[in-house]
Structure 1
């Protein structure tokens, strides 16, 4: 335990650093050209840092060290809103799968020269279902079988292609001196003043989501009052630099009118190889395969992890007992199946009805941010409520700046979250095939249905709670058990331990102790 508590600044930074590698979001950044740098700075300063700091304080309040977001909100606003917070935290994953698998399909379509795979809605949805359900069925055997896959796929399929893209981008720029986006500052300022809208910042918010998962481990950090803010500021700077370079690398060679969101990175790599190292043009196919492999590894770790976060509601009996059973491999099979049905329905709507185009990709990003922001809104509201509690509980970390700092930082985060949440109901300028009215109606209906269903689930569970009698018990994970190659959004904060397995383990430990005592007694005689 002592070694865990002494995790240094670098150790904690590496715990969160996976969120820096987000090459699949570069095409969305590329749409804004040079202005993407400004949007990343804005998202990092007025949203990411407030989330990180307020989550850290909530996580270290006495009584909040177990249960994650559910406990943070429940202990302040009540179990209803605690359930809403954790349920929406899980729901956003079901939509996020869509953009992730679109990315795989885009890469495969490019390297196979099979355009129909990415443009034919029925074929694209069929490929989507094969990939998603194939990974889901494979995961039913437990997460242990995927740990090595995730480590390898993260290095080869996410880090390596990102580095290649950035290196090629530098070579291209210094070799040609030409870029496909407007570099004139006056033109960019004019574009910002005349065309800026809140919905533009949605993909930049998405790039920074998930930090609350790392805040849960602040108790393991040495000197948290100094090291945690320092780690978060460092993370923001690195994220802004890497994401800016990545987005600008894509924007430099792929004009906006020819940019495909789920193929943008591979498009850029192909053009850059042709312009800088034509002899290595075949390398684009290697990069495409590696990127598809990287995303498959990422998806495999996301299928089970976020579902486990719902298990903290078991002691409140909110979710039906039927949903909270696990198999011998500690996999919540029934919840995984329910998750799969939700993903199948939403992906069908976006892929078949909305043709799986750039518009569908943009909608999927907006839906993800919309759902996730419900959780963040509740985090900020909970934080502001606890700031005003007279008899404050002890906590290992406080937002810097005293009471003024607490109000200022959480207030900025809350206002930003509310503004961006509102913007997800309005189509951005890059959505061409759906009218503003139709888009807004679709998004409002989606949100009302999801929100209403969440409240119904809570009401039925709350009125007739079914508590206890599970074949497992849950415990909070320690930071040294966290697989660092998994993105924060896909991590799970709790480990499920089968009760029968735990009892057998306890019996073996008792036998070992008795055997050792008997041996010592015999020796003394």
Structure 2
């Protein structure tokens, strides 16, 4: 008999999966308004999508997650679009993570000025990602660093960020945050450029539907899974807010570098009289980010090669090496990531390029969430007989309330992602809008075109028969 996961274990597992300090500067950059954004992100994004994903995952537990749910509700065409978008959004997500890695190197070598040097960042990102790609052609490589990377580069820095942030804030008092009142807590909704930070904060919770795969493995899932969702998201909101508000107090808002996680640590360690610790922690964080990047290289590609073998992509996409690595997908990833990274060459500020990439990634993920929410509605009525061990609480009325909340959050996130925020110079507003709109349209239409013109001979079995 397989031992069930306890409620505490599921909460710990979820926090370990989502816990990251990579997005803290984004929350810090809006000061007290971060409270408003985080609460809205939880109510209109994280909680409802988690509950919907749990119901779908326990009703359709087959490997594949979102694409399986969408296929059951909307058919293979939109399942392919879902798989495709989950793959291509990783290109932009990995550029962001690679940028965070590249921004650590200057602090390791005592050259913090290089963290804002576009050329240095571009070269470092491209070299790093190609090294990780080549190393992953040997399947065993990833297992060697993932666990230690998480402990050394994510958990220890996260605890230090909160402890040191609180200590520094008590030491210096309220310097940069200013007073907490309705004007500082609630952003000016007439100024949509500020409200666009909501999209970046929602991105903290992107991917949370993956935790739903554990819903069937928990004791009393109908009761315990919703509790785990609420507790996990509550703890994540508290952690992010403490870390972000203490950083916002330590650094003026216009000086916060969204891609440089180490920035507040430098201030804290200097205040403690141990500036050399900045170098050590930068090395630790760089190792953690490297491990995270390494874990992401193969995941999306392994999912996509299964799609290719079903006959939805030409045979060249089905190529594997002797270690069973999906060669074509991995090479395409590295190539596209290289091209996307070159955006930093034409955009003068690292913050500006980082935000543009973040917004496009968020929009693509939100399109997937729209498909997941539609799948929830359709399957609730189309296949009511399918047992869901973790249904959305409240029956069909509860489902509609949950889905409407999620739709409000997802659609709002898409809209505000398109609007250039205050960190993007006016002369780049048009370029930013074009990147978001055209990028989304092209990347959604492309899989629809591929699906329309797919050939029966693309299916793996048919390819092998032809070769024989």
TM-score (normalizing by structure 1): 0.84
| CA displacement, residues 169-201 of structure 1 (integer Å, 9 cap, x when unaligned) | 111122221331223314314644554654120
State whether structure 2 residue 327 is matched by structure 1 residue 333. yes
| Cα distance, 1:470–1:53 mapped onto 2, change above 3 Å | farther
State whether structure 2 residue 250 is matched by structure 1 residue 253. yes
| Cα distance, 1:431–1:19 mapped onto 2, change above 3 Å | farther
Instruction: Give 1:218 deviation, angstroms.
Output: 1.6
| CA displacement, residues 308-352 of structure 1 (integer Å, 9 cap, x when unaligned) | 12234246310222212322222111110011111111111x211
Asked whether the equivalents of residues 386 and 392 of structure 1 are also in contact (C-alpha less than 8 Å), the reply is no
Find the aligned partners of 1:99 and 1:269 in 2 and give their Cα distance.
Answer: 20
Higher-Rg structure is 1
The one of 323, 337, 340 equivalent to 1:343 is 337
Aligned to 2:379: 386
State whether structure 2 residue 458 is matched by structure 1 residue 460. no
Find the aligned partners of 1:433 and 1:106 in 2 and give their Cα distance.
Answer: 25
Q: Which blocks of at least 5 consecutive residues in structure 2 are unaligned? A: none
Instruction: Give 1:391 deviation, angstroms.
Output: 4.9
Asked whether the equivalents of residues 96 and 354 of structure 2 are also in contact (C-alpha less than 8 Å), the reply is yes
Count of residues in Structure 1 that have an aligned counterpart in Structure 2 = 463
The one of 47, 50, 54 equivalent to 2:48 is 50
Aligned to 1:288: 282
What SS does structure 1 have at the residue aligned with 2:196? helix
Asked whether the equivalents of residues 218 and 228 of structure 1 are also in contact (C-alpha less than 8 Å), the reply is yes
Asked whether the equivalents of residues 124 and 356 of structure 1 are also in contact (C-alpha less than 8 Å), the reply is no
| Cα distance, 1:74–1:314 mapped onto 2, change above 3 Å | same
Find the aligned partners of 1:413 and 1:172 in 2 and give their Cα distance.
Answer: 37
Asked whether the equivalents of residues 19 and 208 of structure 1 are also in contact (C-alpha less than 8 Å), the reply is no
Aligned to 2:118: 121
Find the aligned partners of 2:383 and 2:372 in 1 and give their Cα distance.
Answer: 19
The one of 199, 205, 213 equivalent to 1:202 is 199
Find the aligned partners of 1:80 and 1:198 in 2 and give their Cα distance.
Answer: 34
What SS does structure 1 have at the residue aligned with 2:454? helix
Aligned to 1:90: 87
| Cα distance, 1:225–1:191 mapped onto 2, change above 3 Å | closer
Find the aligned partners of 2:334 and 2:389 in 1 and give their Cα distance.
Answer: 39
- 1:351-370 matches, within 5 Å, as 351-355=344-348, 357-370=350-363
- 1:260-275 matches, within 5 Å, as 260-263=257-260, 265-275=261-271
Instruction: Give 1:7 deviation, angstroms.
Output: 1.8
Aligned to 2:19: 21
- 1:31-70 matches, within 5 Å, as 31-62=29-60, 64-70=61-67
| Cα distance, 1:178–1:101 mapped onto 2, change above 3 Å | same
Instruction: Give 1:307 deviation, angstroms.
Output: 1.5
What SS does structure 2 have at the residue aligned with 1:424? helix
Asked whether the equivalents of residues 96 and 365 of structure 1 are also in contact (C-alpha less than 8 Å), the reply is yes
Asked whether the equivalents of residues 20 and 238 of structure 1 are also in contact (C-alpha less than 8 Å), the reply is no
Find the aligned partners of 1:409 and 1:332 in 2 and give their Cα distance.
Answer: 38
| Cα distance, 1:210–1:190 mapped onto 2, change above 3 Å | closer
What SS does structure 1 have at the residue aligned with 2:418? coil
Asked whether the equivalents of residues 198 and 420 of structure 1 are also in contact (C-alpha less than 8 Å), the reply is no
Aligned to 1:506: none
| Cα distance, 1:3–1:117 mapped onto 2, change above 3 Å | same
What SS does structure 2 have at the residue aligned with 1:379? helix
Range 209-218 or range 425-434, more displaced:
425-434
The one of 148, 154, 159 equivalent to 1:152 is 148
What SS does structure 1 have at the residue aligned with 2:382? coil
| CA displacement, residues 271-324 of structure 1 (integer Å, 9 cap, x when unaligned) | 11222x11x221111111111111001101110012212234246310222212
**Alignment root-mean-square deviation, CA:** 2.1
Instruction: Give 1:423 deviation, angstroms.
Output: 1.8
| CA displacement, residues 63-89 of structure 1 (integer Å, 9 cap, x when unaligned) | x52332111001110101011111111
| Cα distance, 1:281–1:114 mapped onto 2, change above 3 Å | closer
The one of 292, 301, 306 equivalent to 1:307 is 301
